[in-house]
Amino acid sequence: MIRIGIIGYGHRVACLATGQLKNAAPDMQVVGVVDPNEAGVRKRLSDWGCEDQKNVPFFKDIHELIRKSKPDGLIIGTRCNLHTPLAIQAAKYDIPLYLEKPVSISMRQAQDLEKAFCKTRCQVVVSFPLRVSPLCERVKDDIREGVVGKAEHIAALNYVPYGTCYWQEGYRNFNITQGLFLQKATHDLDYMTYLMGSPIVRVAAMATYGHVFGGKKRKGISCSTCDATVTCLESPENRRRVGLGSKKETDHPCLYSVDCGSPATGTNEDCSSCLVEFATGAHGIYTQVFFTRRDAGRRGSIVSGYKGTVSFDWYTGEIRRVRHFQPFSDTVKGSGGEGGHFSGDDELARDFFNLIRGRIKRSRTPIETGLASVYACLAAKASAETGRFVKVRQVGL
């Protein structure tokens, strides 16, 4: 039996614990939880039919959880602002840690986290499923095998078809997330770094706020207390009419309310982009758009070198390889990659248990990957705010 302690047992971790983690280790047992919302967690476990966790004990903090339940591994899945302080506590124990992203939301937090992990043997699996997804690994193999030659350029796109969650759920709380570079681009800048085989050293970024979402509707308003649901495209009835959202949805917080914040107080961007320079001197672009819907969804990139170009998209599961100097181009169609985050969550779950069982010595997404991505995202955020190029702090310097 593998004994797991969970700190922050919210929606994301509950999905993993009942899905990918359970699949990877059917003998996994949740032996302790730290979460101030015990009633909410117990209700979710009951609603989801998790009978085996009915009597799971709750503890006041990580130290008590470890002392009393002796877990083999820890999972931190709180909201973003708490990842760093809790991971610093976990670093005191040499127990493998699954840590949600972004690992930090400020420069201060990131530097504190880096310092804490200089002095520990605690191995971390940062929750970066894209990097380890079979499609991304296949593209990395193509690059290693020389399909493009030396990778000189990357153009990465992320047209998010579910972006309304960033205006109608807790993710709209800017104090907790610090915006969508840290919340979303942290994944993409990480896998771009991996594919290009080089850290990002300089960023220029731009963001658009308040053109689509956000607004002046009163505090606390939701569809059930609004008189514009007949015309509002985001009302449950209109979403149902065009096949968006859950059929069961009857109400949600307003996407045009002051609760979404403002550019002055901090708010999520409708879309944002950055130009990145890698240490090799190669460069690339990344752009993310949060108001696109349905078939507009697209996530992936085009990597080019003098010898060839390889492009891929997680939504279609396809890789296209073009040899610039040979009369060959081909398309590889992936199969079976429909799991969480294009099967990346399954890979991370396996890595986590392999670390716990001592079958691997090192995570594919160690703490350094989380930190490097946060430093790049913080540079992008600072650049969008100031209109200047920003140098990216490097891990270990």
Ligand X SMILES: NC(=O)c1ccc[n+]([C@@H]2O[C@H](COP(=O)([O-])OP(=O)(O)OC[C@H]3O[C@@H](n4cnc5c(N)ncnc54)[C@H](O)[C@@H]3O)[C@@H](O)[C@H]2O)c1
Residues at the contact surface with ligand X, assessed by CB under 6 A: 7-12, 34-37, 41, 77-80, 82, 100-101, 127, 129, 170, 341
Which of 162/306 has CB closer to ligand X? Answer: 162
Q: Chain-centre distance of CA 55, in angstroms?
A: 30
Which of 101/252 has CB closer to ligand X? Answer: 101
Q: What angle do CA 20, 41, 85 make, to 5 degrees?
A: 80
Which of 10/305 has CB closer to ligand X? Answer: 10
Q: Chain-centre distance of CA 5, in angstroms?
A: 21
Residue given tokens 């399954």 in the structure block: 346
Single-letter code of the amino acid located at 362: R
Q: For residue 202, what are the β-bridge partners?
A: 277, 391
Pick the closest to residue 265 from 152, 323, 178 (CA basis). 178
Which ranges of 234-366 would DSSP assign to H, the alpha helix?
236-241, 344-356
**Min dist. Cβ of residue 127 to ligand X (A):** 4
Which of 80/289 has CB closer to ligand X? Answer: 80
Can you tell me the distance from the alpha carbon of 125 to that of 132, in angstroms, rounded to the nearest whole number?
A: 11
Which of 90/310 has CB closer to ligand X? Answer: 90
**Min dist. Cβ of residue 9 to ligand X (A):** 5
Which SS3 state, helix, strand or coil, does residue 184 take? helix
**Min dist. Cβ of residue 107 to ligand X (A):** 18
The pair of structure tokens assigned to 35 is 């979460």
Give residue number: closest CB to ligand X: 10
**Min dist. Cβ of residue 379 to ligand X (A):** 19
**Min dist. Cβ of residue 39 to ligand X (A):** 10
**Min dist. Cβ of residue 125 to ligand X (A):** 11
Which of 20/127 has CB closer to ligand X? Answer: 127
**Min dist. Cβ of residue 20 to ligand X (A):** 11
Which of 15/155 has CB closer to ligand X? Answer: 15
Contact between residue 196 and residue 255 where contact means Cβ atoms under 8 Å apart? no
Can you tell me the distance from the alpha carbon of 227 to that of 109, in angstroms, rounded to the nearest whole number?
A: 43
Which of 69/127 has CB closer to ligand X? Answer: 127
**Min dist. Cβ of residue 375 to ligand X (A):** 17
Which of 46/329 has CB closer to ligand X? Answer: 46
Can you tell me the distance from the alpha carbon of 235 to that of 251, in angstroms, rounded to the nearest whole number?
A: 8
Contact between residue 89 and residue 110 where contact means Cβ atoms under 8 Å apart? no
Which SS3 state, helix, strand or coil, does residue 286 take? strand
Can you tell me the distance from the alpha carbon of 240 to that of 233, in angstroms, rounded to the nearest whole number?
A: 10
**Min dist. Cβ of residue 37 to ligand X (A):** 4
Which of 80/310 has CB closer to ligand X? Answer: 80
Can you tell me the distance from the alpha carbon of 293 to that of 162, in angstroms, rounded to the nearest whole number?
A: 7
- Per-residue exposure over 244-282, b if at least 16 CB sit within 10 Å of its own CB, e if not: bbeeeeeebbbbbbbbbbeeeeebbbbbbbbbbbbeeeb
Which ranges of the chain would DSSP assign to H, the alpha helix?
11-18, 20-24, 38-47, 62-69, 83-90, 107-118, 129-132, 134-144, 165-168, 174-177, 180, 186-196, 236-241, 344-356, 367-386
**Min dist. Cβ of residue 191 to ligand X (A):** 12
Which SS3 state, helix, strand or coil, does residue 270 take? coil
